């Protein structure tokens, strides 16, 4: 079993739809939760960064973390064709054995159709 | 501020050869992490360097090695290439603690082993 599970999709939605992307994890030590967006042939870029449980909103993006359920989500409101990309969740925790290491989900490919 | 740069962007090698990839972090960043990205395994952590010292290493064979220079630039080397080493190699930089801080990724080096 992988430490972080993410449905690879692909997920196809019409423009303007609300998109929900999710990851589950097994390691209760995770404290830092991130969502990255990766366009084809590009490196990942950070979208959202959350410490511990709770919600965080940034424009059309909302990240939720539920540590009790070991579940994180990214919501995209009013989705646009430019949001078409692969979305990766990533996690880490404090500790000398984990310095510099992010654990990534497999990534979900999203296509927003005009 | 210039982003993370990686050279070369594309590389074709044959089995048994070795390869060196280079990464220049964002100015002022002292931590550099390396990841391998493949369709089957996703993004996997290779190693992380800070102030010329390797602080953490992933579960990759000894054929994968790296180093960091005093100007924080980093190189990774893969010796005795295998077909399965074909992947996108990404480096990411952060100021000092990539688990707690934003990691900024470069565009990657796409390696094809024939």
Nearest CA distance, A71 vs chain B (angstrom): 19
Q: Which of B4, B35, B38, B42 to mutate to test the interface with A (most CBs of A within 10 A)?
A: B42
Q: Which of A14-23, B51-60, B85-94, B98-107 has the lowest mean pLDDT?
A: B98-107
Q: If DSSP codes are grouped into helix, strand and coil, which group holds residue A83?
A: helix
* pLDDT digit string, tens, across residues A71-83: 999 999 999 999 9
Q: In this complex, is the C-beta atom of A35 within 8 Å of any C-beta atom belonging to chain B?
A: no
B67: nearest Cα among B77, B57, B58, B59: B77
Of A99, A102, A107, the CB nearest to B103: A102
* pLDDT digit string, tens, across residues B45-88: 999 999 999 988 999 999 999 999 999 999 999 999 999 999 99
Nearest-angstrom CA–CA distance, B112 and B114: 6
Q: Which of B18-22, B31-35, B86-90, B97-101 has the lowest mean pLDDT?
A: B97-101
Residue A53's pLDDT band (cuts 50, 70, 90):
confident
Residue A10: C-alpha distances to residues A7, A46, B107 (Å)? 8, 20, 23
Nearest-angstrom CA–CA distance, A89 and A105: 5
Residue B102's pLDDT band (cuts 50, 70, 90):
confident
* pLDDT digit string, tens, across residues A25-45: 999 989 889 999 999 989 999
| Pairwise CB contact (< 8 Å): A105 & B42 | yes
Instruction: Please give the pLDDT value at position A51.
Output: 85
CA end-to-end distance (rounded Å), chain A: 37
């Amino acid at each position: 079993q992988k430490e972080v599970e993410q449905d690879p999709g692909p997920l196809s939605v019409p423009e303007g739809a609300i998109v929900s992307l999710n990851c589950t994890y097994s390691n209760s030590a995770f404290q830092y939760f991130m969502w990255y967006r990766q366009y084809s042939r590009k490196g990942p870029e950070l979208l959202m960064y959350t410490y511990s449980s709770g919600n965080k909103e940034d424009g059309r993006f909302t990240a939720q973390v539920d540590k009790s359920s070991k579940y994180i989500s990214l919501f995209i409101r009013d989705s646009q064709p430019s949001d078409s990309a692969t979305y990766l969740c990533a996690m880490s925790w404090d500790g000398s054995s984990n310095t510099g290491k992010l654990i990534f989900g497999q990534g979900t490919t999203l296509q927003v159709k005009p | 501020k210039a982003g993370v740069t990686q050279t070369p962007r594309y590389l074709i090698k044959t089995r048994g050869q070795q390869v060196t990839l280079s990464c220049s972090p964002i100015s002022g960043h002292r931590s550099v992490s390396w990841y391998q990205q493949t369709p089957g395994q996703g993004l996997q952590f290779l190693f992380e360097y800070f102030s010329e010292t390797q602080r953490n290493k992933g579960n990759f064979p000894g054929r994968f090695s790296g180093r960091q220079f005093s100007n924080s630039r980093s190189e990774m080397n893969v010796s005795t290439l295998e077909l399965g080493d074909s992947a996108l190699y990404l480096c990411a930089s952060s100021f000092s603690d990539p688990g707690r801080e934003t990691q900024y990724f470069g565009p990657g080096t796409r390696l094809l082993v024939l």
